[in-house]
Structure 1
Amino acid sequence: MLFPRQGGKGALRLLLSVLILAAWKTGSGQVHYSVPEEAKHGTFVGRIAQDLGLELAELVPRLFRVASKGHGDLLEVNLQNGILFVNSRIDREELCGQSLECSIHLEVIVDSPLQVFHVVVEVKDINDNPPVFRAREQRLFIPESRLVDSRFPIEGAADKDIGTNALLTYTLSPNDYFSLDVQASDELSKSLSLELRKSLDREETPELHLLLTATDGGKPELEGTVQLLITVLDVNDNAPLFAQAVYRVHLLESTANGTLVTTLNASDADEGVNGEIVFSFGSDVPLNIQKNFKIDSSSGEIRLIGRLDYEETKSYEIQVKAVDKGNPPMSNHCKVLVKVLDVNDNAPQLAITPLSLPVREDTPLGTVIAFVSASDRDSGVFGQVTCSVMPHIPFKLVSTFKNYYSLVLESALDRESVANYVLVVTARDGGSPSLSATASVSVEVADVNDNAPAFAQPEYTVFVRENNPPGCHIFTVSARDADAQENALVSYSLVERRVGERALSSYVSVHAESGKVYALQPLDHEELELLQFQVSARDAGVPPLGSNVTLQVFVLDENDNAPALLPRPGAGGAGGVLSELVSRSVGAGHVVAKVRAVDADSGYNAWLSYELQPAAGGARSPFRVALYTGEISTTRTLDEADSARQRLLVLVKDHGEPALTATATVLLSLVESGQAPKASSRVLAGAAGAEAALVDVNVYLIVAICAVSSLLVLTLLLYTALRCSAPPTEGACGPGKPTLVCSSAVGSWSYSQQRRQRCALGRARPRPTSWPSAPAYLKFQAPQKKDNTRNKNT
């Protein structure tokens, strides 16, 4: 042993003490005490001073002290009474652990003389520590396929106490699956295990929470617990299970592509890959389902990929299969019933079946014309169709059955008003908005002979120049028949009657088909001024219908008659020679003779004028002739130089074109005044008679001219109006303008016709042999332009 050089005395002293102590130890005994652990401060341990044989009074002087190796503060000695007591907490497990014996070794030292005593204080164990498991919970993973009676080791608990206090017993919380198996290898060591008493089903009980309790043998007993978390490991022993055996879905047929139809809810009681499900259509799914639907294999979403059509397929039954990913895989099936809901996507369809076309216009009311059938591929209210027809008159639709109608005649037909009806039948369904379809049928109205031929006006006025060529076309009548085909085929004929002593057909004829009226012979204005007759028009219907029209044919005068000289009654001469006696004593302007002439024509053609032809040799005659009266008068007083016999040549000329003439010779015998009284008186008497007759005739002439002029003017106005309102017709045969007829105060008209048919009076009457002078205001002129005025009373 090495000792330090300095402090040698102290080291020596220490060495001596150790030697003395060793010697004392060898010769002395030990004091033994016991104390329970966890005793309180001040707990009595023993009377150490007394047990060591020391006096209480010596304790202080001899420096009584207690030393302990590492545990000096646990026990203490009261120097006043020499009692050893507990100074601080004593934990046996801390001091000795699991050792069965646990003691505190004390060294008691006193001086004067030096003495060392050994004191052993045994620390007694108390049950102050419960059993303790290493962890708060233990996890076990057991496949659900493990067999019954299988064992699964678990860890036990540890108790820091010793002896009976550390003697553990185990209990397991009640359960249906496991029991506790304890195998004791020695008194303190036990092996624990769980024994399977019932088959596990992870899908039924995926986890078990058991409580393992360890109880020591102390008094009181202490216990410790641990949670046993048993996880049942899955095996693929469950097939996927759908939430519903049948999924029912309603879709409108107008549903857009990509729309989610439904999401299949399937589950697998297994876990992991054993619970992962793959969805698919069944292998026997029809092609139309594959074209219209698709399924997501992982999510189970079924979506629409095609177009639904309620009219083609009203429902789809889809077989769906769910397969897990276990080994071997397990599967299950369900059905998805997709019901397609109808939308109004189809317009109605129309079919018209004619029955009796064309329709006679005398068809009875209520006759069925056609059948109308309507259909709609939609269902419910969308397929309810109502029909209507336009126009509503004269037909109507009568419902006979669901979506079947009869087209019947509602009011009378008139082909002449409407010959063809285009009927539009409209079918409309009950959707909102509704869809419609139209179909048309043409209904032709067949003609019935219910219309007689009709002329544009009840009568026509025709002007024809006389002396027309035979067979001349003078007019065309035209009647229109509102009927059709043979019912409108019109033929024309004369309504026969007598004209004087002759038949009408000897004057005119009418073409049966064209309606052209022909003059069969030349007409003579002087014989026949007006020819009035009727033409009948008759159709070819059965029975035939007809109507008549009146034609008034006015024969226009032509200048075809030359003036004719008339002898004066009681005057000398014959033919064209007139003899008169003239007294030489007559003064200027005295009327000595008068030339009378008539013209069978009328109007201008009968307007005569008189001219005195120059005498032979160029000698100037003392006489003159009035231009329109034909009176021969003196131009001066006669003298002896004048020849006793005067021969005057008077030219009578009408106003026709070309003008026709006649020549009258007047022989005047100049006598002395004494020889001429008788002649003069006779001449004067004749002149006076002539003047009186002339006055009477003038009055009569004025009245007649006024009547004739009025009739002619009205006739011309009527003719002009008809020509303006009616289509152009063929007129008189001969060319040329109508003749202008006029008169003056100094002229006269003379006629010698015995009987003339007058258009104004409508009967034959004699003409006067001489016409006096006509007033200048009476003028007759053919129309120069059209006039729309009509006078039906003409």
Structure 2
Amino acid sequence: MAIPWGDSSMGRRQLLQLILLHTAWEMGSGQLHYSVPEESQHGTFVGRIAQDLGLEVGELFPPMFRMESQVHGDYFKVNEQNGILFVNSRIDREELCGKSPICAIHLEVIADKPLRVFHVEVEIADINDNAPVFSVRQQHLAILESRVQGSHFPIEEASDADIGTNGQVTYKLSPNEHFSVEEIMNDERSKSLVLTLNKPLDREVSPQHQLLLSATDSGQPALTGTVLLMITAVDVNDNAPAFNQSVYKIELLENSAIGTLVIKLEARDMDDGINKEISYSLGNLVAPNIKERFSIDPNNGEVRVTGNVDFEESTAYDIQIEAKDKSSYPLSGHCKVLIEVLDVNDNRPEMSLKSLSVPVPEDSPPGTVVALISISDRDAGANGQVSCSVWPPRLPFKLQSTFKNYYSLVVAEPLDREREAEYKLVVTAQDHGAPSLSTTSSLVVPIGDVNDNAPAFAQPSYTVFVKENNPPGAHIFTVSASDPDVGENALVSYWLDEKLWPLSSSISVHSESGKLYALQPLDYEELKLLEFQVRAKDAGLPSLCGNVTVQIFVVDENDNVPAVTVPGEEAATLLVVPMTAGHVVGKIRALDADSGYNAWLRYELHEGTSGPWHVGLYSGEISTTRALDEAESSNSHSLLVLVKDHGQPALSATATLSISLVASAQAIQADAHLPGMGGSPKPLVDNINIYLIVAICSVSSLFLLAIILYVALRCPCQPKEAVMYGPGTATLVCASEVGSWSYSQRHSRILGGLAGESSAKNDLMVFTPNIPVFAETGKQQDLLCATVSEPMFNLYHLFKIFVQ
């Protein structure tokens, strides 16, 4: 605390009082308080503000540290090197606060990161730098010689701009035998300086008296002002006008209209004639600002408003009224009119935004300070009491009163930028007057984004159908994930999750667009299904991820030609005996690596083929159309069989079959030497018996197997065991076509154990469905097994298959 005066005992007592006042102030108000004498030089120490506020010296540099004052003028500064508050410019307490008993400068210290506000009051201590002053150098008084002892004559008081003891004035009159000076208290708020007549005047002895009136204050050192009193003794008119009371107290509303009657005064004079006629006027000692606002009618004594009466400028007016008679040596009477100005609610609250910290991160906890708002109202009492509110209601913000008329806008509820990116607030300050006045201010609070949303796909999985033999690098599908965040938090990149299966050589994804590309042609015969996950990651810190399952079903194309299963050649030779019409002489076997209709084969004789021959459209069996005998003109026949699939376009292959007709005995002997029938010839009857026995056993076994299969197929179809094809799975499905059975070469070994090594290949067909069935969760389910349309095989057909 700065010491405003020297080391005298009086100064020490005053210093002790200031220290006690400082301590009481801090304990009562909860704010930092310093004191410094007025007129202190630049650099005068005020206080260690950084230490007292608990701030580090490194926090004192702008813009992290700001100090603002409600008064104009840069009176104080903070040394950024040591945190000391010092006087920056000259401070005149009288100019700053006038006659106010307490003069203080309120400082707002704002520190950021975190946002804090401190309130510091620096009391400006008064020093005795103003001497008592009279408004004139000479005061003229006319006093009747007939005035009795003890009469009082008002004289002008001296004014001292200082306060306290420095402004307490005592008066002393130069030595004389007629007069003394006294201060008379009118009431608790007003006093008058009067000249008291101690001895009646004798105009004939001394018509004039010159007295020196001294006014001395109580400061250290004391200062003095003087005025010369010119007193003239007047004869004859010995009765002065007199008011019925010396002080009149009046209440007047501020902003009263010009011409408003304040009071009507009346003075009486006991004289007669011209000495009784009275003229009213404002006293010579009335201040000019009072004369600008009030006037008195000289004839009837009505005091009226002539200017603007503002409570905020002055709360009271002290007007001296003089009533003077019209004699040659006029006498005068005096009274005072004390006007108390009543406040009217004529000032709207003033609002000032001290600090605004935006945007507000959406993860800000409740209680986070967003803005500091200062509210003030120049009115008094209820008219100056202000309450603050925010509109609209039900916002995630609230106002908290922090210090006097200071409010903090703080976060009240959790924020969500994706739900509301910006809030428009209207802050209203309303006083308690009647009627009340209010001020509004709009405030926009943007919400800052935080990476709190992971990228999300529109659905949990995608099913894609891609035809095989696609060109390398073909775009097959696009995945897209959305992120409701903004900026880098919403910048999504994609990549393949290869934990389950390496896909870098087959599939790639564009990291920005999410486009999926097939890096190489897909082959249905090698790969039926690719199932993998695509992950999406945003660019936030920390980043968040989402994923989606992609199932790529390879759609079969008719790109495989049927292949005849005769090993190593396309032609076969059959030796047959003469036979009847419809006799089966052989069977063509062919395979197709495709699936479905692309692998469904049909057999036709070439258009150039002639003779009594017929080939089964779907069985491939070669039979006669009419009876043959040894008398045929030609004993050798060549058949060209065309094998076609049902693809679009259809693909085909040919097989040449050579049939030779021999006599019955030769046929039997030839049969005994046919490849696969044994090395040594045996009697035909024995071979036929063995064939019949084996055929009967086989037919019985096949019949029993057919019954079991029929019962199994009639039961509710159970999910079949999935077959793995690379990263994905396919499901085995049974099917029947036009009452006969064919098969797919790739699937033949899966079904090889159903009905024998060779016969099953010609009678069963495996289809991999092009349209899978998915549950609501998007996961692949086993495909349903179709019901066989022909539950039992034709025994004759089975017998022929076995014999062949």
Match of 2:153 in 1: none
- In the TM superposition, 1:54-203 aligns within 5 A as none
Match of 2:350 in 1: 349
Rounded to whole Å, the distance in 2 between the matches of 1:413 and 1:455 is 25
Aligned residues of 2:311 and 2:341 also touching (Cα < 8 A):
yes
CA offsets per residue over residues 342-379 of structure 1, 9 Å max, x none?
23333333333336544445555544444333222221
Aligned residues of 1:598 and 1:770 also touching (Cα < 8 A):
no
Change in Cα spacing, 1:754 to 1:261, as seen in structure 2 (3 Å) is: same
1:625 aligns to 2:615 (yes or no): yes
Task: For residue 664 of structure 1, report the CA deviation from its aligned partner.
Answer: 2.5
Q: Counterpart amino acid of 2:429?
A: A
State the secondary structure of the residue aligned to 2:383.
helix
Task: For residue 527 of structure 1, report the CA deviation from its aligned partner.
Answer: 0.8
1:602 aligns to 2:603 (yes or no): no
- In the TM superposition, 1:176-255 aligns within 5 A as 241-253=242-254, 255=256
Match of 2:554 in 1: 555
Aligned residues of 2:280 and 2:323 also touching (Cα < 8 A):
yes
Match of 1:338 in 2: 339
- In the TM superposition, 1:250-649 aligns within 5 A as 250-253=251-254, 255=256, 259-267=260-268, 269=270, 298-304=299-305, 308-318=309-319, 320=321, 334-354=335-355, 356-363=357-364, 365-389=366-390, 394-497=396-499, 499=501, 503-567=502-566, 575-581=569-575, 584-588=578-582, 590-615=583-608, 621-638=611-628, 644-649=635-640
Task: For residue 238 of structure 1, report the CA deviation from its aligned partner.
Answer: 6.0
Rounded to whole Å, the distance in 2 between the matches of 1:404 and 1:389 is 14
Aligned residues of 2:460 and 2:778 also touching (Cα < 8 A):
no
Rounded to whole Å, the distance in 2 between the matches of 1:426 and 1:439 is 7
Q: Counterpart amino acid of 1:586?
A: T
Q: Counterpart amino acid of 2:437?
A: L
Change in Cα spacing, 1:757 to 1:407, as seen in structure 2 (3 Å) is: farther
Task: For residue 781 of structure 1, report the CA deviation from its aligned partner.
Answer: 6.4
State the secondary structure of the residue aligned to 2:312.
coil
Rounded to whole Å, the distance in 1 between the matches of 2:547 and 2:736 is 40
Match of 1:660 in 2: 651
Rounded to whole Å, the distance in 2 between the matches of 1:687 and 1:582 is 20
Aligned residues of 1:756 and 1:767 also touching (Cα < 8 A):
no
Task: For residue 381 of structure 1, report the CA deviation from its aligned partner.
Answer: 2.0
Change in Cα spacing, 1:791 to 1:428, as seen in structure 2 (3 Å) is: same
Rounded to whole Å, the distance in 2 between the matches of 1:706 and 1:564 is 33
Rounded to whole Å, the distance in 2 between the matches of 1:574 and 1:397 is 95
Rounded to whole Å, the distance in 2 between the matches of 1:308 and 1:385 is 24
CA offsets per residue over residues 432-478 of structure 1, 9 Å max, x none?
45433344544444444454444444433232222222222333333
Change in Cα spacing, 1:366 to 1:646, as seen in structure 2 (3 Å) is: same
State the secondary structure of the residue aligned to 1:527.
coil
Change in Cα spacing, 1:436 to 1:698, as seen in structure 2 (3 Å) is: farther
Change in Cα spacing, 1:767 to 1:644, as seen in structure 2 (3 Å) is: closer
Aligned residues of 1:249 and 1:336 also touching (Cα < 8 A):
yes
Give identity over the alignment, percent.
Answer: 53
User: Alignment RMSD, CA only?
Assistant: 5.1
Aligned residues of 2:748 and 2:761 also touching (Cα < 8 A):
no
Q: TM-score, normalised by structure 2?
A: 0.52
Change in Cα spacing, 1:596 to 1:508, as seen in structure 2 (3 Å) is: same
State the secondary structure of the residue aligned to 1:753.
helix
Change in Cα spacing, 1:506 to 1:779, as seen in structure 2 (3 Å) is: closer
Q: Counterpart amino acid of 1:593?
A: G
Match of 1:175 in 2: none
Change in Cα spacing, 1:793 to 1:349, as seen in structure 2 (3 Å) is: farther
Aligned residues of 1:351 and 1:439 also touching (Cα < 8 A):
no
Q: How many residues align?
A: 509
Rounded to whole Å, the distance in 2 between the matches of 1:334 and 1:318 is 8
Aligned residues of 1:452 and 1:538 also touching (Cα < 8 A):
yes
CA offsets per residue over residues 697-731 of structure 1, 9 Å max, x none?
9969989998899999xxxxxxxxxxxxxxxxxxx
Change in Cα spacing, 1:672 to 1:756, as seen in structure 2 (3 Å) is: closer
Instruction: Please say which of residues 521-530 and 684-693 is displaced more in the overlay.
Output: 684-693
Change in Cα spacing, 1:465 to 1:264, as seen in structure 2 (3 Å) is: farther
Match of 2:202 in 1: none
Match of 2:26 in 1: none
State the secondary structure of the residue aligned to 2:597.
helix
Instruction: Please say which of residues 411-420 and 377-386 is displaced more in the overlay.
Output: 411-420
Match of 2:195 in 1: none
CA offsets per residue over residues 650-698 of structure 1, 9 Å max, x none?
3222233322222233334455677667969989989997998798699
Change in Cα spacing, 1:742 to 1:793, as seen in structure 2 (3 Å) is: closer
Change in Cα spacing, 1:509 to 1:249, as seen in structure 2 (3 Å) is: same
State the secondary structure of the residue aligned to 1:770.
helix
Match of 1:139 in 2: none
Aligned residues of 1:610 and 1:653 also touching (Cα < 8 A):
yes
CA offsets per residue over residues 223-260 of structure 1, 9 Å max, x none?
xxxxxxxxxxxx98866544444443323336456544
State the secondary structure of the residue aligned to 1:649.
strand
Task: For residue 294 of structure 1, report the CA deviation from its aligned partner.
Answer: 5.8
Rounded to whole Å, the distance in 2 between the matches of 1:698 and 1:343 is 109
Aligned residues of 1:697 and 1:771 also touching (Cα < 8 A):
no
Change in Cα spacing, 1:462 to 1:687, as seen in structure 2 (3 Å) is: farther
Rounded to whole Å, the distance in 2 between the matches of 1:553 and 1:377 is 77
Rounded to whole Å, the distance in 1 between the matches of 2:383 and 2:412 is 30
Q: Counterpart amino acid of 2:438?
A: S
Aligned residues of 2:555 and 2:770 also touching (Cα < 8 A):
no
Q: Counterpart amino acid of 2:514?
A: G
Match of 2:744 in 1: 751
Aligned residues of 1:559 and 1:601 also touching (Cα < 8 A):
yes
Rounded to whole Å, the distance in 1 between the matches of 2:717 and 2:602 is 22
Aligned residues of 2:743 and 2:765 also touching (Cα < 8 A):
no
Rounded to whole Å, the distance in 2 between the matches of 1:697 and 1:529 is 33
Change in Cα spacing, 1:635 to 1:278, as seen in structure 2 (3 Å) is: farther
Q: Counterpart amino acid of 1:575?
A: E
Task: For residue 407 of structure 1, report the CA deviation from its aligned partner.
Answer: 3.8
Q: Counterpart amino acid of 1:577?
A: A
Q: Counterpart amino acid of 1:353?
A: K
Change in Cα spacing, 1:781 to 1:485, as seen in structure 2 (3 Å) is: closer
Rounded to whole Å, the distance in 1 between the matches of 2:750 and 2:382 is 88
Rounded to whole Å, the distance in 1 between the matches of 2:758 and 2:440 is 81
CA offsets per residue over residues 179-218 of structure 1, 9 Å max, x none?
xxxxxxxxxxxxxxxxxxxxxxxxxxxxxxxxxxxxxxxx
Q: Counterpart amino acid of 1:463?
A: F
Unmatched runs of 5 consecutive residues or more in structure 2: 1-235, 672-683, 724-733, 752-756, 782-804
Rounded to whole Å, the distance in 2 between the matches of 1:295 and 1:635 is 150
Rounded to whole Å, the distance in 1 between the matches of 2:361 and 2:425 is 17
Q: TM-score, normalised by structure 1?
A: 0.53
Unmatched runs of 5 consecutive residues or more in structure 1: 1-234, 568-572, 713-740, 759-765
Task: For residue 334 of structure 1, report the CA deviation from its aligned partner.
Answer: 4.6
State the secondary structure of the residue aligned to 1:381.
helix
Rounded to whole Å, the distance in 1 between the matches of 2:615 and 2:428 is 96
State the secondary structure of the residue aligned to 2:382.
helix
CA offsets per residue over residues 103-134 of structure 1, 9 Å max, x none?
xxxxxxxxxxxxxxxxxxxxxxxxxxxxxxxx
Match of 1:650 in 2: 641
Aligned residues of 1:745 and 1:774 also touching (Cα < 8 A):
no
Rounded to whole Å, the distance in 1 between the matches of 2:633 and 2:345 is 129
